[in-house]
Amino acid sequence: MKQKTLIGIGVVVLTLGGLYWLAKTGSNEGNEVTSAGPVTQTSPLKASESSYNFGTISMAAGNVAHEFKVVNESSTPVTIRKIYTSCMCTTAHLIRGETKRGPFGMPGHAPVPEINEEIAPGEEIAIEAMFDPTAHGPAGIGRNDRAIYLETDNGVTELQFTVFVQP
């Protein structure tokens, strides 16, 4: 009887340990780099800076934001079909003059509607990146690499940022 109980406990412990290990190795949270991967920059929308480093921030200090300036460098209008992010901890807003559209989030965690925003040749817009350091709880401490994607009728523009989160 005692031997069967010990074997049963051992099986449960090994099963739970295996599930924990699988969840950990399949996760891209925490201190790992979590970019969605390389994206070909084929869109005529160009950012004055395609990446930004927030440096070290405190989780307790709350959200941080940065505006990327984006211009249509082509001689024809470009339509932004969708804006989405690489992670649920990141949202984006499109700012055009006094108008602010969004928030736009991660597919699967937030709706990604078609926005069909036409940008005239030479026109500059802003994309506000908002990062919530508390979104992942303690697992979000450390380096976080995130991205915002502007999907146009002519390709994709990727805006990236890095942040190091401390408790």
Residue 23 lies in a domain: no
Contacts with 62 (C-beta within 8 Å, 6 or more apart), sequence order: 133, 134
Residue 152 lies in a domain: yes
Residue 52 lies in a domain: yes
Give the separation between CA 78 and CA 137, rounded to whole angstroms. Answer: 38
Domain that holds residue 131: 31-166
Supply the mean pLDDT for the chain. 83
Q: What is the pTM of this model?
A: 0.74
Residue 120 amino acid letter:
A
3-state secondary structure of 106: coil
Residue 6 lies in a domain: no
| 21 — pLDDT class (breaks 50, 70, 90) | very low
Q: Which residues share a beta bridge with 35? A: none
Residue 49 lies in a domain: yes
pLDDT of residue 44: 87
Residue 2 lies in a domain: no
Residue 8 lies in a domain: no
Give the separation between CA 129 and CA 9, rounded to whole angstroms. Answer: 48
How many domains are contained in the chain? 1
How is 117-154 classified by DSSP, letter by letter?
A: EEE-TT-EEEEEEEE-TTTTGGGG-EEEEEEEEEEETT
pLDDT in tens, 127-148: 999 999 999 999 999 999 999 9
Exposed, middle or buried, 128 (CB in 10 Å: 0-12/13-18/19+)? Answer: middle
Residue 107 lies in a domain: yes
For the domain that residue 95 is a member of, what is the CATH number? Answer: 2.60.40.10
